[in-house]
Amino acid sequence: MFDFEMLFMIGLKVLFALLMIGAVMTMAGYSVLAERKVSAWMQGRVGPNRTVLPLVGYVPFAGKFLKGMGMFQPLADGLKFLFKEEIIPGHVNKFYYNLAPIVALVPALTTMTVLPFGEFFADNGESFPLMLANLEVGILFILAVSSLGVYGIVLAGWSSNSKYPFLGGIRSSAQMISYELAMGLSLLPIFLWVSEPGTGAMGLSLVDIVDSQKQSPWLLLVQPLSALIFLIALFAETNRLPFDMPESETDLVGGFHTEYGGFKFGIFFVAEYAHIVVGSAIFTIVFLGGWHFMPWMSDPWPATWIGSLIGVGWFLAKTIFLIFFFIWIRWTLPRFRYDQVMNLGWTKLLPLALINLIFYVCLVTWLDQPPA
Amino acid sequence: MNTVDLLFYFFATLSVGGGLLMVISRHPVSAAMFMIISLVSVAALFVLLESFFLAILQVLVYAGAVMVLFLFIIMLLDVGPEGGKVSRVKMLSGLASCLSVGILVILLLQFSGIGDASLSNWKAIQSTESVTGDSLVFSTSLKNFGYGLFTKYMLPLQVAGFLLLAAMVGVIVLSKKSTPDLDA
């Protein structure tokens, strides 16, 4: 009959997955708020400061503070998207028009399965990474699944059957295909460096990368050029300004989601921010030491459950700083022209990534040669 | 029948069904979508074999490839969301599909020994040496893939790379039409 232990394990995994989705979706929602608040701050405005739950506004000090910070704004935005009338324009292909937002959201949420976000200390002093699935090829999984996200955008652009979304979809696919190469190439030297003989790191595991940065310099300091190329490619892959070609308002109205409204538009919006959250987490893991304290220093917190909690908090702090960095760049730099984006990707970033790779191949070979 | 078997039948059905629907669907974009469903289910079958690396490569390589195919459909065939033109060479494509199905059936019968299990060419793996032939470790781990590719299978790897390079050079030569007035 039924294997109850198996069912229990599956149930537990599903629960963990739901918790993780909840955490990332909450972060995505609050990234939208952060976007509005930070942009307001940079432009000398106040930003969202009116939304408040009933009664909470009357709580002395805290209520006023939460209201001023706009802490309830994501809730109001979500409800607004949910209750808006769903309009489907008459000229679209209905099936693909409805499918596209889902196809855009699913990869953004799937990549988080292999993200390690902390470590758990057992009673006997062993530590285990906190993550949903410890894949040996974690980073490849993320690259593969996030490359599926472009289907959502292209399908949206094509099924809308109108000029602006179509251009947005085509631009997006070209941009993603171009920058994926540079992104993959910028990560290769990292794995060369981490998997040197004698370290025990075997494959492309994200946990091994974090462990290699324990009490040793962050990989950002070891390989600044790889980090720079990866960061630029990450901006391009998440369609953030200065690379937001698929949705640039000035020449494409709204880009691939021009014909979308209500909840379906909201899903695209959330998918974009979920991409940013996951991308920031990956950058933290690969280049900023993950949940370890500071370069060259051992973790100052004890190896107990308190230590695990502080580690997760430290990881979140780094990730949130990177999200802030994304927003900061968006409201600072102007948008590229489309040919400039392609030019940068193919003639600057890709050769640079190749040179970087060859340099580190030579360096690692030289460092690893056995003493004569 | 345990969970893994159920998952196997689910994804096997999905991959074969997706392949079939890809061939018979009228709409080129639907065909491309069915193709990606079929390829992703094959990746899921690799996951059930605990060969995560192959599964991920399957998605990574074919997702990009089908994306390019998709753009080809949209840009070259000029397919709007209402649907595209139906292929005019029905006779030829029918013949081609009959031929390939025929070859597939004959090969399957041949290899399975036509009902006689003792004549079958499909044999269970007895030892790991019988698969790799020499000291290469038989496993699904990434390091062994790399080790095998860069030692025993170095020549095939280089030849495949050279073929791809030749194709790339060919495409560049063909697509770059010489414009005499600009060259001058």
Q: Please, which residues have CB within 8 angstroms of residue A204's CB and are 6 or more apart in sequence?
A: A136, A137, A138, A139, A140, A191, B142
Structure ipTM = 0.75
Out of A135, A159, A177, whose CB is closest to B67? Answer: A177
Question: Is B142 in Cβ contact with A203 (below 8 Å)?
Answer: yes
Question: Do residue B81 and residue A96 have CB atoms under 8 angstroms apart?
Answer: yes
**Would you say B58 and A187 are in contact if contact means Cβ atoms under 8 Å apart?**
no
pLDDT tier at B115, thresholds 50, 70, 90: low
Interface check for B81 against chain A (CB to CB < 8 A): the answer is: yes
Query: Do B71 and A203 lie within an 8 Å CB cutoff?
Result: no
CA atoms within 13 A on the CB side of A183: 25
| Measured distance CA(A24)–CA(A234) in Å, rounded | 18
* Band of residue A32 on the pLDDT scale cut at 50, 70, 90: confident
Measure in Å the smallest separation between the Cα of A212 and chain B Cα atoms. 18
Distance between B142 CA and the closest CA of chain A, angstroms? 6
Q: Can you give the pLDDT at residue A303?
A: 73
Is the pLDDT at A151 greater than 90? The verdict is no
Q: Is the pLDDT assigned to residue B141 strictly greater than 80?
A: no
Is the Cβ–Cβ distance between A220 and A190 less than 8 Å?
Answer: no
d(C-alpha A96, C-alpha B27), whole Å: 12
- Among residues B142, B152, B150, B164, the alpha carbon closest in space to that of B55 is found at B142
Note whether B57 contacts A: Cβ–Cβ < 8 A: yes
Is the confidence at residue A313, as pLDDT, over 70? Answer: yes
Q: What is the mean pLDDT of chain A?
A: 82
Q: Is the model more confident about A366 or about A132?
A: A366
Q: Which residue of A has its CA nearest to B60?
A: A144
- B78 in contact with A, Cβ within 8 Å: no
Tell me, rounded to whole angstroms, the distance of Cα A292 from its chain centroid. 19
A177 CB neighbours in chain B (<8 A) are 64, 67-68
Going by DSSP bridges, is the β-strand pair A118-121/A127-130 parallel, antiparallel, or unpaired? antiparallel
Element counts in chain B: helices (H) and strands (E): 8, 0
Mean pLDDT over B48-54 rounds to 83
Note the pLDDT tens digit of each residue in B12-22: 999 999 988 88
Per-residue pLDDT, averaged over A180-205, amounts to: 77
- Tell me: the pLDDT tens digits for A326-336? 888 888 888 88
Question: Residue B162 pLDDT > 90, yes or no?
Answer: yes
CB-count burial class (<10 Å; 0-12, 13-18, 19+) for B181: exposed
Q: What is the pLDDT of residue B179?
A: 65
Chain-chain contact of B141 with A177 (C-beta, under 8 angstroms): no
Instruction: Count Cα atoms within 13 angstroms, Cβ side, for A145.
Output: 23
Cβ atoms A31, A73 nearer than 8 A: no
At A86-138, the pLDDT tens digits run 888 877 777 888 888 888 888 888 888 888 888 887 777 677 777 777 777 78
* B76: closest CA of chain A, how far (Å): 13
Å from B64 to nearest chain A CA?
7
- Helix, strand counts (H, E) of chain A: 14, 2
The predicted model scores a pTM of 0.83
Contact B59 A204 (CB under 8 A): no
pLDDT tens, position by position, B76-107? 666 665 555 555 667 787 888 889 889 988 88
Q: Is A202 on the interface with B (CB under 8 A)?
A: yes
A237 touches chain B (CB under 8 A): no
Q: Within 13 A of A294's CA, how many CA atoms are on the CB side? A: 3
